[in-house]
């Protein structure tokens, strides 16, 4: 379980995350929804300890990220589509990460196979298409077979076949009892995979509810989402 409590983050004059609190539970896919610039990526970076919060805390299985003994075996994350050195091969990228967390080489081949990159594993990542880069990011997230997965806009730039593949993957990871936290600015996309949604706008919590409950509030999920985010931070938090 991920527990976010009173998280605040400022970048210069911008308040990116504003007293955000929510839980992400195992065994289901939780969507993280908000317009572009609403603070989703900042929250993801704070969860991973990449940025330091100005206030509040995040616990993963009861511990801070930096206290994790083997982080990749507990949390897998895909933050940007292309966070790889362009001159390094896909396999080398994974082998390096695996070495850092005491993960065996055979696991590298397993995840390459799982995401369908075995045939291009020796190729330099700079030549990868966006879809291949997304798959490599997912392979890295799965490397340590973690119980918690964070994915920031994983379907961005993917072709329809890739989008369908990610949906299936996320659902199966959730069904295996893992914590799966997926951000998107498209409610229609999340509605196909997520059971629960955390909605934010301007860094604040707008809703923390089931997809079914959110849909019941308006004519459509999209209406519900747009009404929530339009009201934005003027309205109080709407939680269930």
Partner 1 sequence: MTAGSRYRLRHVARMEWTKLRTVRSSWWLAVSSVLAMAGAGAGVGAGYRSHTPVATAAQLIDNSLAGAVLAQLFLGALGVLAVTGEYSSGTVRSTFAAIPHRGLVLAAKAGTVGLVSFTVGELAAVAGFLAGQAAIAGSPVPRASLADPAVLRPVLLTGAYLGLLGLLGTGVGAVVRHTGGAVGALFGVVFVPMFLAAVLGPAGIAVLKFVPLIILVNSVAVVTPVPGTLSAWAGIAVLCLYATVALGLGWRLLVGRDA
* Binding interface with partner 1 (CB under 8 A): 45, 48-52, 65-66, 68-72, 75, 77, 79-80, 82-89, 92-93, 95-97, 99-104, 140
Report the C-alpha dihedral over residues 122, 71, 65, 172, rounded to 10 degrees.
80
If the CB atoms of residues 147 and 189 are measured against partner 1, the closer one turns out to be: 147
Residue 224 in contact with residue 57, Cβ under 8 Å?
A: no
Q: Which is nearer to partner 1, 153 or 195 (CB)?
A: 153
Nearer to partner 1, 13 or 52 (CB): 52
Distance from first CA to last CA of the chain, Å, rounded?
A: 18
Q: Which is nearer to partner 1, 40 or 45 (CB)?
A: 45
Alpha-helical runs (H) found in the chain: 40-47, 71-74, 90-100, 105-114, 130-142, 160-175, 187-191, 211-216, 221-231
**CB–CB of 144/101 below 8 Å?**
yes
State in angstroms the smallest separation of the CB of 56 from partner 1.
15
For the bound state, the minimum distance from the C-beta of residue 96 to partner 1, rounded and expressed in Å, comes to 4
Q: How near is the Cβ of 61 to partner 1 at its closest, in Å?
A: 15
- Cβ closest to partner 1, residue 95 vs residue 114: 95
Partnered with residue 150 across adjacent β-strands are 77, 181
Q: Could you tell me the smallest distance in angstroms from the CB atom of residue 111 to partner 1? A: 14
Report in angstroms how near the CB of residue 78 gets to partner 1 at its nearest. Answer: 10
For residue 24, the minimal CB distance to partner 1 (Å) is: 17
The vertex-33 CA angle with 29 and 35, nearest 5°, equals 160
Least Å distance, CB 81 to partner 1, is 9
Nearer to partner 1, 71 or 174 (CB): 71
Task: For partner 1, give the closer residue by CB, 18 or 208.
Answer: 18
DSSP per-residue string spanning 77-142: EE--TT-S-TTSBHHHHHHHHHHHTT--HHHHHHHHHHTT-GGGTTSBGGG--HHHHHHHHHHHHH
179, 1 Cβ separation under 8 angstroms? yes
Let me know: does 7 contact 45? Beta carbons within 8 Å: no
């Amino acid at each position: 379980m991920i527990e976010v409590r009173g998280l605040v983050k400022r970048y210069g004059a911008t308040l990116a995350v504003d007293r955000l609190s929510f839980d992400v539970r195992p065994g289901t896919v939780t969507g993280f929804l908000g317009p572009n610039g609403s603070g989703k990526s900042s929250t993801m970076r704070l969860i991973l300890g990449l940025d330091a919060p100005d206030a509040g805390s995040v616990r993963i299985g009861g511990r801070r990220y930096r206290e994790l003994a083997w982080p990749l075996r507990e949390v897998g994350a895909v933050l940007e589509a292309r966070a790889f050195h362009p001159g390094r091969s896909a396999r080398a990228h994974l082998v390096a990460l695996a070495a850092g967390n005491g993960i065996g080489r055979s696991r590298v081949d397993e995840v390459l196979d799982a995401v369908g990159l075995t045939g291009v594993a020796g190729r330099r990542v700079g030549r990868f298409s966006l879809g291949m880069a997304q798959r490599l990011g997912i392979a890295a997230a799965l490397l340590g077979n973690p119980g918690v997965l964070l994915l920031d806009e994983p379907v961005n730039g993917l072709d329809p076949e890739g989008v369908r593949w990610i949906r299936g993957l996320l659902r199966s990871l959730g069904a295996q009892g893992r914590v799966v936290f997926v951000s998107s600015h498209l409610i229609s996309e999340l509605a196909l995979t997520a059971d629960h949604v955390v909605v934010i706008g301007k860094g604040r919590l707008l809703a923390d509810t089931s997809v079914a409950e959110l849909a019941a509030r308006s004519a459509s999920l999209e209406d519900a989402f747009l009404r929530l985010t339009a009201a934005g931070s003027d309205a109080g938090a709407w939680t269930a």
